Amino acid sequence: MIREIKNGRLFFDGCDTVELAKKYGTPIYVMSQTDIESRFDELKRDFTDKYPNTRVAYASKAFCTVGMYKICEKNGISIDIVSLGELIAAEKAGFPAERIEFNGNNKLPAEIDKAVRYGVGRFIVDGLQELPLIEAAAEKYQKKVNVIIRITPGVAASTHDYIVTGKKDSKFGIPLDDDIFLPVVKQAIDSPWIEFLGLHMHIGSQLFENDAFIKALDVVMDHAAKIKEKFGVAIREVNFGGGFGVKYTDEVRKPYSFFLDPLMAELEKRSAEIGIERPAAVIEPGRSIVAEAGITLYTVGQIKDIPGLRKYVSIDGGMGDNIRVALYQAEYDAVIANKADAEATETVTVCGKCCESGDIILTDFKIPAGVEAGDILATFSTGAYGYSMASNYNNNPIPGVVLVKDGQSDWLVKPQTPEQIIQNNVVPDFI
């Protein structure tokens, strides 16, 4: 069990969270290596060992740190990156270039240049102007570059509007109109600098049903058939994207096999129909690898009780370390880590310290009565898109990240200091 209660305290991956708060300070993100690796084990058992010619590329946008890349590397996982910053972190981790897959809807020329020079394994082409940029860099470094083309399958997955990506009106992917899609594919096939491998889809995030995945895959395979018919080329790779849902409050995370077994069956069936070998299958999970592996620890400060209305409990972090509540109306579960077995009888609203009324982490949430300054609040499932979307609003430093594993703990990222926030500030002479 990653989460346990012992002597009234919350333990996480064998570590007493109240002691972690004392030792490392708050606010602090805590990531469990055991939980991350249990996801990798599940994927190995139910995907990469079960089906030949398959690969997992961790979507590092969910949680990108040098140490996380080391964990991926050690577990034989590839990574999906979307920026120079993520590439530099991967380089720092000594991550093997051929296991890096480069996504993103507006890869900058400097990013493409660096990625080609580094020798990344794949570019997932997402826009019409991208191929010529890749070709130019490939020629410059005299390296042939592997390319997958991301399509917009025109499928609406059911999730929050901000994280839907598969419908036609999307900034991501190549539209499937023949006069747009086919010329891009032809350009990739004809280029001496490009190895055209196949197609990519990503329909959205925090998904619990597989019908939209299957529908999108069908669209991908319809277009694989078109590519075979028009150009006589068999695609060799299909990327299903990520999006597998996790538990924040009442949700139940579905095993990867729930999504992947039907997808693999469909891929097999459709490949046979088209008369091509079953292409390599790749997934890009982000949230499902790290969300539940992370908690955030805060210290309770001011408490404001408005009689008959609401009790606000302030913590020393907030929207700077978790923007998901304000941005997606996300809901979380939490406990008072030093009163973890006390019955939750009092309803409070937990707010952050930013100058923003929307800086709320938990609304009308039940905690044990008698919350007081100095209590440690732990919010659960904060490992994905928490640290990676953190901000310096109000010049609050971004909290550090502690990695825990079987009772051991150490820094993964040290906390930012206020001085570091202003280190690039300059004062022009003409002020």
CA angle 342/369/349 to nearest 5° reads: 110
64 in active site: no
CA 225 to CA 48: how far, in whole Å? 25
Binding track over 27-66 against ligand LLP, x by CB under 6 A? --------------------------------x-xx----
Task: Please report how close the Cβ of residue 59 comes to ligand LLP at its closest, in angstroms.
Answer: 4
The interface region with ligand LLP, picked from 199-207, 220-228, 257-265, 422-430 by CB under 6 A, is 199-207
CB of 187 vs ligand LLP, minimal distance in Å: 21
Tell me which of 121, 166, 198, 286 binds ligand LLP, using CB under 6 A.
286
Q: Which is nearer to ligand LLP, 11 or 213 (CB)?
A: 213
Q: Which is nearer to ligand LLP, 326 or 350 (CB)?
A: 326
What is the smallest separation between the CB atom of 68 and ligand LLP, expressed in angstroms?
A: 13
Active-site position among 15, 72, 354, 355: 355
Q: Does 288 bind ligand LLP (CB under 6 A)?
A: yes
What is the rounded distance in angstroms from the CA atom of residue 177 to the CA atom of residue 324?
Answer: 35
Residues 6 or more apart in contact with residue 158 via CB below 8 angstroms: 207, 209, 212
Shortest CA distance to 385 belongs to which of 255, 213, 248, 283?
248
Part in contact with ligand LLP (CB under 6 A); list of ranges 68-76, 236-244, 335-343, 396-404:
236-244
Are 307 and 268 in contact, with CB atoms under 8 Å apart?
no
Question: Of these, 51, 312, 328, 393, which contacts ligand LLP (CB under 6 A)?
Answer: 328
According to the binding rule CB under 6 A, does residue 242 interact with ligand LLP? yes
Cβ 3 to ligand LLP shortest distance, Å: 21
In this complex, which beta carbon is closest to ligand LLP, that of residue 241 or of residue 318?
241
Regarding 237 and contact with ligand LLP (CB under 6 A), the answer is no
Helices (H), 75-160: 84-92, 109-118, 130-141
* Long-range contacts of the stretch 298-301 (C-beta < 8 A, 24+): 298/26, 298/27, 298/376, 298/377, 298/378, 298/379, 299/21, 299/26, 299/27, 299/373, 299/374, 299/375, 299/376, 299/377, 300/336, 300/371, 300/372, 300/373, 300/374, 300/375, 300/376, 300/377, 301/353, 301/373
Region from 65-73, 285-293, 374-382, 417-425 binding ligand LLP, contact rule CB under 6 A: 285-293
Give whichever of 57 and 313 is closer to ligand LLP, judged by the CB atom. Answer: 57
Long-range contacts at 393-398 (CB < 8 A, ≥ 24 apart): 393/319, 393/320, 393/354, 393/356, 394/320, 394/353, 394/354, 394/355, 395/421, 395/422, 396/317, 396/320, 396/353, 396/354, 397/421, 398/320, 398/321
In the complex, minimum distance from the CB of residue 310 to ligand LLP, in angstroms, rounded to a whole number: 26
Q: How far is the CB of 290 from ligand LLP (least distance, A)?
A: 8
**Residue written as token pair 């139940």:** 252
**CA atoms of 418 and 180, how far apart (whole Å):** 49
Do the Cβ atoms of 139 and 193 come closer than 8 Å?
yes
Q: Measured from the CB of residue 228, what is the shortest distance to ligand LLP in angstroms? A: 25
Please identify which residue in 84, 97, 156, 163 interacts with ligand LLP, judged by CB under 6 A. 163
Q: CA triplet 387, 37, 410: central angle to 5 degrees?
A: 55
Q: Report the alpha-carbon distance of residue 128 to residue 116 in Å, rounded.
A: 18
Q: Which residue in 103, 152, 338, 396 binds ligand LLP (CB under 6 A)?
A: 103
Q: Tell me, residue by residue from 62 to 91, as one string, x for binding to ligand LLP by CB under 6 A and - for no binding.
A: x-----------------x-----------
Q: Which one, 103 or 271, has the nearer CB to ligand LLP?
A: 103
By CB under 6 A, the count of residues binding ligand LLP is 22
CB of 269 to ligand LLP, least distance (A): 24
Structure tokens at 27: 């606010």
- Nearer to ligand LLP by Cβ, of 122 and 339: the residue is 122
- Tokens at 413, concatenated: 């990222």
Residues marked as catalytic: 355
Q: Where along the sequence are the contacts to ligand LLP (CB under 6 A)?
A: 59, 61-62, 80, 103, 163, 165, 202, 205-206, 241-244, 284-288, 324, 328, 385
